Every structure is written in structure tokens, then in C-alpha cells.
Structure 1
Amino acid sequence: MNASDEAAEPLLCSAKGCRETAVWALRWNNPKIHTPERRKVWLACADHREHLADFLGRRGFLREVVPVEELTEHDG
């Protein structure tokens, strides 16, 4: 069996202590340290999406929220 035969590990929510599967990707950047096109990603389960989005939004970091399926190799 090679690496391509193994099941991919599920993406987990970024909320502290949460081990649920992520269904949302919160794309963000800190304009003080990141270039405008750079996107960092936090993952969120259904229960933590709003909490994480509020945290990033209050700081002016949140750029967009998309389903995990829309993540690309350029995210992160």
C-alpha cells in the first residue's frame, strides 16, 4: 500500500479543544504582517464557525468564509 491508497486525514476545527471535522474555511490575513494577497486559513466545524469568524472580524482580519471543499493548495 502506498500513500495514495491511504485515506486522507479529516481536517479538524481550529477552535481550541475541538476535534470535530471542519466544514468551513475562514480565510484571513493580518494587514500589519501579511501582504494583501496572502491568506491564512482557520478551519471551523458548524458549531464554531460564528465564534471564529467574530474573533477574526473584530480585528479586521477576516476576508471570506468558504466551504472546506473550496480550499486550494495556495491556502494556508
Structure 2
Amino acid sequence: MTPTCSAKGCHAPAVWALLWNNPKLHTPDRRKTWLACDQHRSTLGDFLGARGFLKDVVPASQVD
């Protein structure tokens, strides 16, 4: 099964993995993952970044 974008209603193949962490809920080393297509990479990243949660963006092929 091909991983798909995490944006609501999007079924496009995931190209990017947005690694994030909510410091109020997670230990500093924990990384949660949202997957994104090229179209939604910036909007998902902006959402996480505005909250200070975004830690890294890597190609989806680099995550399990």
C-alpha cells in the first residue's frame, strides 16, 4: 500500500515526511510523522511551524 498525504481529503501519494513533536505531550526525542504530497507540504508545515511543533522535513522514503 502506497502511503498517502495526511491533508484532509487528499489521496495523493506522500512525497514528504514532516517530523514533529508537541513538547507539552511528548518527550523531546519523540517524533510524530505527518506525510505530505508536494501540494500540501507547505500548508501542513506552516500549521506545525506556527505552533512550534515542526522539527524536520525529510523525503517520505526515509521514514518507516
Distance 1:48 1:10 in 2: 17
| Higher relative contact order, chain-length normalized (CA < 8 Å, sep 6+) | 2
After superposition, the C-alpha distances for 1:6-26 in whole angstroms (9 at most, x for unaligned) are xxx000000000000000000
- TM-score, structure 1 as length reference: 0.83
1:15 aligns with 2:11: no
**TM-score w.r.t. length of structure 2:** 0.98
Q: For structure 1, which runs of at least 5 residues remain unmatched after alignment?
A: 1-8
Q: Deviations over 1:39-76 (max 9, x none)?
A: 0000000000000000000000000000011103xxxx
Aligned residues: 64
RMSD: 0.5
CA shift, 1:36, in A, is: 0.1
Identity %: 62
Runs of 4+ in 1 over 6 A off after TM superposition: none
User: What is residue 28 of structure 2 aligned with on the other side?
Assistant: 36
Structure having the higher Rg: 1
